[in-house]
Amino acid sequence: MAIKSNWNYPTAIRFGAGRIAELPDALKSVGIKNPLFVTDAGLINLPVTQTALKLLKDAGIPHGVFSDVKPNPPGENVEAGVAMLRAGKHDGVIAFGGGSGLDVGKTIAFMAGQTRPMWDFEDIGDWWTRADSKAILPIIAVPTTAGTGSEVGRASVITDASTHTKKIIFHPLMQPKLVIADPELTVGMPRFITVGTGFDALAHCLEAYCAPGYHPLADGIGAEGVRLVLENLPKVIANPNDIEARGNMLSAAIMGATAFQKGLGAIHSLSHPIGALYDTHHGTTNGTFMPYVLVANRDAIEMRIARLAAYCGLPPSFDAFLNAILALRSSLGVPHSLKDLKVPGDRRDEIGDMAVADPSTGTNPVQLTKALAIAIFDRAMEGRV
């Protein structure tokens, strides 16, 4: 991929193949001298991670490594990371990996100097103002998947194991100071991770575009992100070494997280409790729910989706777009139903309550009542679009 560019939208981004080599310089530019390198347990021993750590070693940069990060990370992972950061007197964080590693890394940097419990900073009202802003450490984010876009976000999703709920921890200064977006780092990801994270990016772009309210910047970014995913995710699966397509997917992930400041919707409202209760992959769960939520929202978004279909080179209709999503899911092996995802139906009532209470619910295009949430869940269980 020949394109290299420096962006500042919404944060400083060094985008381009091979730019992981700039990690030592990136640390210097934001004033981090002794970083804690945070990644997940599945990544720590892979070549992509070891290469990044060697860059630090070769540059003579002292650092610690924390990799006790699980998928759908629980609060305990953050607490253990904060303890390591304080013990090592680290002055910043390199958050390296997919959504789990990025979210935990950002939250460790946020919680490093706080005295209140992490759950006191859930994204509710102005709770973020409870934090000591001066105690938040700088973050460099390095994504290795093209999905969550957490590298440009001001929040993290952490699971409260005591209630089996996903909670959003938010503060404006959780946004990384600098992002290294190198598409070469995403090449070695397993196929199911590439597909799942790709659908996560698609869900972010699509739900932001459909969310009610006036935000033409988010609408434009979301629409282009949808187009990039539809065109490039099949290319990446067909040829994992297609760096240009990988770069476009990485861009779409960043765009989704930029756009969803406008809002998300019921895809996420339903995926969050499923992931918290059954530990399913978040992006894959989004992909499973996507067509059922589109249909449930149809009356409010039909014309908007028709315009999006036309922009993506499809016939300008809701049905054409829905069929394109169904075809993409089928071709890439995304489970068509929750049964295919190995999700049981025994907690549907509880899931209905959790979906209504989810922070994403408020910007769904139609009011997500408990009855509607359960109806979508039932159709997704049975595979009835």
Q: Which residues contact 34 (CB under 8 A, 6 or more apart)?
A: 61, 62, 63, 64, 88, 89, 90, 91, 92
Please name every residue paired with 170 in a beta bridge, in sequence order, or none if there are none: 155
Question: What is residue 207's predicted lDDT score, i.e. its pLDDT?
Answer: 98
Judgement on whether residues 371 and 230 belong to the same structural domain of the protein: yes
Total domain count, the chain: 2
pLDDT digits (tens, 9 = 90+) for 57-84: 999 999 999 999 998 899 999 999 999 9
Question: What is residue 76's predicted lDDT score, i.e. its pLDDT?
Answer: 96
Judgement on whether residues 196 and 161 belong to the same structural domain of the protein: no
pLDDT digits (tens, 9 = 90+) for 282-341: 999 999 999 999 999 999 999 999 999 999 999 999 999 999 999 999 999 999 999 999
pLDDT digits (tens, 9 = 90+) for 197-207: 999 999 999 99
Query: Pick from 127, 162, 185: which residue ends a domain?
Result: 185
Judgement on whether residues 291 and 348 belong to the same structural domain of the protein: yes
Question: What is residue 112's predicted lDDT score, i.e. its pLDDT?
Answer: 95
Q: What are the angstrom distances between the C-alpha of 318 and each of 49, 210, 297, 304?
A: 42, 12, 11, 8
Judgement on whether residues 333 and 257 belong to the same structural domain of the protein: yes
Judgement on whether residues 149 and 230 belong to the same structural domain of the protein: no
Judgement on whether residues 85 and 233 belong to the same structural domain of the protein: no
Judgement on whether residues 233 and 308 belong to the same structural domain of the protein: yes
> How many Cα atoms are found within 13 Å in the side-chain-facing hemisphere of 327?
10
* pLDDT at 121 > cutoff 80: yes
- In this structure, what DSSP letter does residue 74 have? B
Report the alpha-carbon distance of residue 214 to residue 193 in Å, rounded. Answer: 33
The pLDDT of 16-39, averaged and rounded, is 97
Report the alpha-carbon distance of residue 262 to residue 211 in Å, rounded. Answer: 7
- In this structure, what DSSP letter does residue 83 have? H
* pLDDT at 154 > cutoff 80: yes
Report the alpha-carbon distance of residue 100 to residue 104 in Å, rounded. Answer: 6
Question: What's the mean per-residue pLDDT of the chain?
Answer: 95
Q: Which residues contact 169 (CB under 8 A, 6 or more apart)?
A: 107, 110, 118, 121, 122, 123, 155, 156, 157, 158
Please name every residue paired with 15 in a beta bridge, in sequence order, or none if there are none: 5, 181
Judgement on whether residues 127 and 197 belong to the same structural domain of the protein: no
**DSSP-derived 3-state class of residue 364:** coil
Query: Pick from 138, 166, 185: which residue ends a domain?
Result: 185
- Edge to edge, what strands does the sheet with 35-38 contain? 5-8, 12-15, 178-181, 139-143, 92-97, 35-38, 64-66
Q: In which region does residue 143 sit, left (phi positive, over 0), alpha (psi from -120 to 50) or beta (all else)? A: beta
Q: How many residues does the chain have?
A: 385
Judgement on whether residues 371 and 224 belong to the same structural domain of the protein: yes
Judgement on whether residues 118 and 233 belong to the same structural domain of the protein: no
Q: What are the angstrom distances between the C-alpha of 358 and each of 214, 369, 370?
A: 22, 12, 12
Judgement on whether residues 277 and 233 belong to the same structural domain of the protein: yes
The pLDDT of 233-241, averaged and rounded, is 97
- Residue ranges making up the domain that contains 372: 191-382
CATH number of the domain within which 63 lies: 3.40.50.1970
* Confidence tier at 7 by pLDDT (50, 70, 90): low
**DSSP-derived 3-state class of residue 96:** strand
Query: Pick from 131, 162, 185: which residue ends a domain?
Result: 185
* Confidence tier at 8 by pLDDT (50, 70, 90): low
Ranges of beta strands (E only) in the chain are 5-8, 12-15, 35-38, 64-66, 92-97, 139-143, 155-160, 165-170, 178-181
The pLDDT of 7-27, averaged and rounded, is 91
Question: What is residue 164's predicted lDDT score, i.e. its pLDDT?
Answer: 82
Question: What is residue 10's predicted lDDT score, i.e. its pLDDT?
Answer: 79
Burial string for 290-300 (b: 16+ CB within 10 Å, else e) reads bbbbbebbeee
Q: Which residues contact 374 (CB under 8 A, 6 or more apart)?
A: 348, 349, 351, 352
Judgement on whether residues 231 and 313 belong to the same structural domain of the protein: yes
The pLDDT of 24-47, averaged and rounded, is 96
CATH number of the domain within which 349 lies: 1.20.1090.10
